[in-house]
Structure 1
Amino acid sequence: MMRPPPRLRITGPAPSRHPDGNSGRGGGEMARSDFRFHVPKRVRYSEIDAQAVVFNARYLDYLDIAMSEYFRTLRVPGGKDGLHFQFARTTLNYRKPIRFDEMIDLCVRCARIGTASITLAFEYHGAGGEDLRCEGESVIVNLAGIGAGSAPVPPAIVALFEAHEGRSLRA
């Protein structure tokens, strides 16, 4: 005799914790003003799923857009002759749906810098407001070269992030 599958228990979003220990506004998120950088993004038809909301894998695409623009703004050298970062870990906490043709702000900031790693905090908001849709963090590791092991984050790069964020970021 086959047993029925277990019932799923659906609850609200799990409480989160930001990388700098900020308990934020109840759920762990930071105030929008804690982010000095954001990039606007319009949701395209190709980014939504059958439920007419942004497909879950696109949240990582959005993180890549935000991080790339953040690094470009700070003039972090990349590419063939620049630094080489590898994602070590990313967590996403879904809060509310993002819908087709909606304008959203992709907010990102450097939360801390370790010896060879950088922790980025990010949030996605409805354009121009405190309308939190997703929050999370990514840890990226600096590599000694393409396919090589980890290497210390250069002091000049630490200085770029600290100047932009207005505080010490060393763990």
Structure 2
Amino acid sequence: MSEVFAHRLRVRYSECDQQGVVFNGHYLFFYDVALTEMWRALFGDWARMVEQGYDLVVAEARIRFREGARFDDVLEVSMPVARLGTTSMIVRPVFRVAGRLIADGEVRHVFIDPASKAKKEMPPQVRSVLEPYLDGSAGQAAGASSAPQSP
């Protein structure tokens, strides 16, 4: 079984809309926080990656909403890596509260040269670290996980 990184965060009041649920636009922000924490756990500081001559940008994102997370919920964002291409990778985030599926989706990232912004081949050391996280089934939330963060 492959590993799946998961990050937990607590929903803040300001992230909720007038219906009392998390405003849909925040899910991509939550994903970005989880990706940054996954990168930190696996590779270290994001700035170090840029200094080494590569960066990662979002090329495409899709989120499917199932149920609304609410203020003070602890939201777990699982980060199964679905595909490692030559210049890109796909992550299929799964958002859960107390085991309930809240949302899921797919985000395609492209590796670029930070100076020219041109596509760049995924560094071999990145590929080798991400391969154990490669899993096409986005429904599992096992493996490494970071502690909940306070609001």
Task: Name the TM-score class by shorter chain.
Answer: 0.7 to 0.9
User: Is the contact made by 2:112 and 2:120 (CA closer than 8 Å) also made in structure 1?
Assistant: yes
Gaps of 5+ in 1: 1-32
Residue equivalent to 2:27? 59
Residue equivalent to 1:107? 78
**One-letter code of the match for 2:14?**
S
User: Is the contact made by 1:104 and 1:124 (CA closer than 8 Å) also made in structure 2?
Assistant: yes
Residue equivalent to 1:68? 36
Relative contact order, higher structure (CA 8 A, sep 6+): 2
CA RMSD of aligned residues (A): 2.0
Q: TM-score, normalised by structure 2?
A: 0.80
CA deviation after TM superposition for structure 1 residue 78, in Å = 2.7
Residue equivalent to 1:95? 66
| Count of aligned pairs between the two proteins | 132
Matched, 1:155 2:124: yes
Structure 1 runs of 4+ aligned residues shifted over 3 Å read none
**Secondary structure of 1:66 counterpart:** helix
CA deviation after TM superposition for structure 1 residue 108, in Å = 0.6
Relative to its length, the structure with more helix (as a share) is 2
What is the CA deviation profile of residues 87-126 of structure 1, one whole-angstrom value per residue up to 9, with x for unaligned ones?
1000000011111111111111211111100111110001
CA deviation after TM superposition for structure 1 residue 84, in Å = 0.7
Greater Rg by CA: 1
| Structure 2 CA distance for partners of 1:35 and 1:90, relative to 1, 3 Å | farther
**One-letter code of the match for 2:93?**
F
Percent of pairs with identical residues: 30
What is the CA deviation profile of residues 3-62 of structure 1, one whole-angstrom value per residue up to 9, with x for unaligned ones?
xxxxxxxxxxxxxxxxxxxxxxxxxxxxxx976211111110110011110011101110
